[in-house]
Structure 1
Amino acid sequence: MWKSIASNALTFLVVAVFLLGGALIWAQNTYSDEGPLAEAICLDVPRGSNMSLVSENLAEQGAVSSPMLFRLGAEYSDKTQDLKAGSFLVPERASMAEIVDIVTRGGASTCGTEIIYRIGVNAAEVEVRELDPATGRFVEVVEFDPAADAALPEDYVSRRDDADTRFRVALAEGVTSWQVVEELKSVDVLEGEVEVPVEGSLAPDSYEIARGDSRAELIGRMQRAQEVILAEAWENRADELPLETPEEALILASIVEKETGVAEERPQVASVFVNRLRRGMRLQTDPTVIYGITEGQGVLGRGIRQSELRAATPYNTYVIEGLPPTPIANPGRLSIEAALNPAETPYVFFVADGTGGHAFAETLEEHNRNVARWREIEAERAQQQN
C-alpha cells in the first residue's frame, strides 16, 4: 500500500514539475513574443503611477494580453521600481518585455505634446505639435510669433500647463547672443535673469528644457556645448592656418556662417577668407560691417550705406586688416569645422549666383564677370516684381 502511495505521489510530482516547467516556458514566450497591439499608441504614465495601473491601462488599450504577466515580468526583471512618468510611444506588436523597457529606461518622453521655442536669425516662433502614434509623425497644433501676437493662443496655454508636455529651445545657426537672450525672456516656462554672453560662445542646437529651468543654466549648457565643439575642431585643424588661437577660429567661423546658408559650400567660403588672410588682403565682407552697425541687436533691415563702408570701425573689414575683434554671431559646428579645415582652392573672391549659393573666382577679372551676372539677375527679379 505504501509503495502504491509513494508511486502515485512521485507520479504527481513529476506531472506537477512538468506542468510548472511548461507554464514557465509559456510565460516567458508570451512575455517576449509579439504583442496584440494592432496600431501604435501613446501611453500616458502619470506621476505617482505604478506597474499595476500601467498594466491595466495597457490591457484596456489592447497592448498586453495579461496584465498580471506584465507585472510579473517587470518584477522578475527587477524593473518595477524604475517606472518613469511621461508619455511614451508604444509601437504596434510590441512585446511586454519591450513595453517594460520603454516605460523604465528613462530619458525624454517619446510621445504626446511638444512645445518648441525656435530662435531664428530673422524671427522667433513657438510651435505646439503632437505626435500621431499611427504615423509616427508630429502634427502641428498651432504656430505663432511671440513678439507679434498680443494674446497667447489657447492651444498653447492649455498644453503649456499640461504636466506631461515636453519643451525644447531650438537655436538656429547664425543668431547673435543678444537675440538669444531677448527671445529666452519670452519663454515663459523658464525662470531667472541672464546677461548677454560673449558673442559666438553659444552652440546652435536643440535643447530639452523643463518647466522651471533657469535661463542662466540653459545659457551655460549652450556655452559648454560650444566649448566642446570648438576644442575638438581646433584639435583636428589643418596645418599652417593663418589663425593663432581658437578664438580667432571662432571669429572666422562666424563670418563663414553669415556668408552662406549652403552647408556644402562652407569649406569653399572659408577657403576664400583663409586665402585672403594668407595674402594680407582685407576680408571685405558685408556681415562684419552690419554687425558693427547693429552690434548684433537684430537685423539691419536696409542696405549698407556707402558712408558705412568707408567708416573706420573695428568691424569694417573693407577698412581694417585681418579679422574683426569678436565673432559676429554664434556659428554652428559645420562652420567651425569649415574654418579650421577649409577647402584647398585658389579662390579669393565670391558673389551670389542667384541659386542661394555663390560663384567663386581666382582673379578680379573673373570676379567682375560674376558680379555683372549677379546684377543682371537682380535686375530681372526686380522687373518681375513690378
Structure 2
Amino acid sequence: MAFIKKTFVLGMLVAAGAAGGFAWWSEQPITTEEPAIEFTISKGSTAGAAGQQMAQAGVPIQPLMFNMLARFTGKSNKLKAGSYELKPNTTPARLIDQLVRGEFAQESLTIIEGWTFKQMRAAIAAHKGLRHDTAELSDKELMERVNPDFKDPEGLFFPDTYLFAKGSSELQIFKQAHQMLIQRLQEAWEKRSADLPYSSPYQALTMASIVEKETGQKSERSMIAAVFVNRLKLGMLLQTDPTVIYGMGARFDGNIRKKDLETDTPYNTYLRTGLPPTPISLPGVQSLMAAMAPAKSGALYFVSRGNGTSQFSDNLTDHNRAVNQYQRQ
C-alpha cells in the first residue's frame, strides 16, 4: 500500500511538473529572425491542422504542442480562418488568442485626393492584398453593386487610407469608400452657405471636384470656389481647363491646345454654361467644404503666379493685367 501511495504521489508530481512546464512554454516568445511571418489558416481547420499550416509557412512552433495548448485552453474549436502575421515577441498563448479573435493581417490602400475613378480602380486592381472580385465588372456594373442610385462612378468615392484584412474583397473597399463619401458630402451639405447655385449635393460634389483639380495651394480652395460660384450665379462660362482635359479622355497627351478648347464635349466649360454633367475627380474634404462655403469675394478670374499660388481679379481689365505680368511677362 505504501508503494502504491508513493507511486501515486510521484505521478502527481510529474504531472504537475509537466503542466507547469507546459504553462511556462505557452508564455515564452516565439523566437524568429523575421520581422513578421505571414500565414493562412484554411476554413474548417482543426487546431492540429492550423498548427501544421503555421509550421509549413515558417512559424517556428511545434504543431503538436500548439494543438495541445488549444485543447487545454478550450479554444481548439474557436479558431477563425484567414490571413495572419506572426509578429516579434508573440507567445503561443497570444497566438491562439490572435486566431480566436480573428486579428487578421492588416493591409492598407491610399486613395489620393484628385485622382479620377479610373486611377482608383487601377490602384485597387494592382493591390496584392485584395481579392480581385470586380475585375470583370464594367464601371456601370460596379456602381450597380455599390449603389444603384448612381450610374456614373466619378467623384463618388472618398480619398483616404483604408485598412482591411489581407484577402478582403475589392467590392468591400469600393463600398466603404463610397459610404464615406456620402457621409462627408452630407455633412458638408448641412453646413453649406446660403444662396449657393446648386440644386443638389451632387452638383456641389461636382464643384468640389473642379476645385480639387484647380487648386495648387490648399489655402486657396475657398477662393477658387468663390470664382466659380460667382460665375455660375452670373451665367458666365466656367472656362476651367481640368474639365476640358477630362472630356478629352485618352486624347489628352499632356498639353491642351486652342483646338481642344474649341472642340465640344459635355465637359468643355469654354463652350457650355453651368457645371459639367458629373464630377471630374475624387475631391477631398477640404474641397468639399470650399464648394459648400466659398470665400466672400467678388473675384471672377484667377491666374497662376507661377509659384503655385494664384492672382485673383474682380474684373477683366485687372485679370488681363495679371496675365501679362505672370504669364506673358
- Whether these two folds match at TM > 0.5 is yes
Cα drift, residue 110 of structure 1: 4.3
Give secondary structure in 2 for the equivalent of 1:298: helix
User: Does residue 351 of the first structure (1) align with residue 303 of the second (2)?
Assistant: yes
Distance 2:65 2:313 in 1: 73
Q: Tell me, yes or no, if the aligned pair for 1:200 and 1:327 is still in contact at 8 Å.
A: yes
Distance 2:65 2:125 in 1: 49
Distance 2:87 2:170 in 1: 35
Counterpart of 2:143? none
Cα 1:34/1:373, change in 2 over 3 Å:
farther
Cα 1:51/1:241, change in 2 over 3 Å:
same
Two-structure CA RMSD over aligned residues (Å): 5.0
Distance 2:79 2:267 in 1: 55
TM-score between both structures, scaled by the size of structure 2: 0.64
Cα drift, residue 249 of structure 1: 0.5
Cα 1:363/1:71, change in 2 over 3 Å:
same
User: Does residue 235 of the first structure (1) align with residue 190 of the second (2)?
Assistant: yes
Distance 1:280 1:249 in 2: 17
Distance 2:257 2:59 in 1: 64
Distance 2:97 2:222 in 1: 43
TM-score between both structures, scaled by the size of structure 1: 0.57
Cα 1:342/1:35, change in 2 over 3 Å:
farther
Cα 1:343/1:29, change in 2 over 3 Å:
farther
- CA deviations on 1:160-202 (whole Å, 9 max, x unpaired) are xxxxxxxx8968734256x878999999864544354325353
Structure 2 counterparts to residues 120-269 of structure 1, below 5 A: 173-175=114-116, 190=134, 192-194=136-138, 196=140, 197-198=151-152, 200=154, 202-203=156-157, 205=159, 223-224=178-179, 226-260=181-215, 263=218, 265-269=220-224
Query: What is the aligned length?
Result: 303
Counterpart of 1:150? none
Structure 2 counterparts to residues 334-349 of structure 1, below 5 A: 334=285, 335-343=287-295, 347-349=299-301
Cα 1:359/1:80, change in 2 over 3 Å:
same
Q: Tell me, yes or no, if the aligned pair for 1:55 and 1:67 is still in contact at 8 Å.
A: yes
Q: Tell me, yes or no, if the aligned pair for 1:349 and 1:367 is still in contact at 8 Å.
A: yes
Cα drift, residue 203 of structure 1: 1.0
Cα drift, residue 239 of structure 1: 4.9
Distance 2:123 2:15 in 1: 66
Cα drift, residue 246 of structure 1: 0.5
Give secondary structure in 2 for the equivalent of 1:350: strand
Cα drift, residue 252 of structure 1: 0.5
Cα drift, residue 37 of structure 1: 3.2
Query: Which sections of structure 2, spanning at least 5 residues, go unmatched?
Result: 141-150
Distance 2:70 2:295 in 1: 55
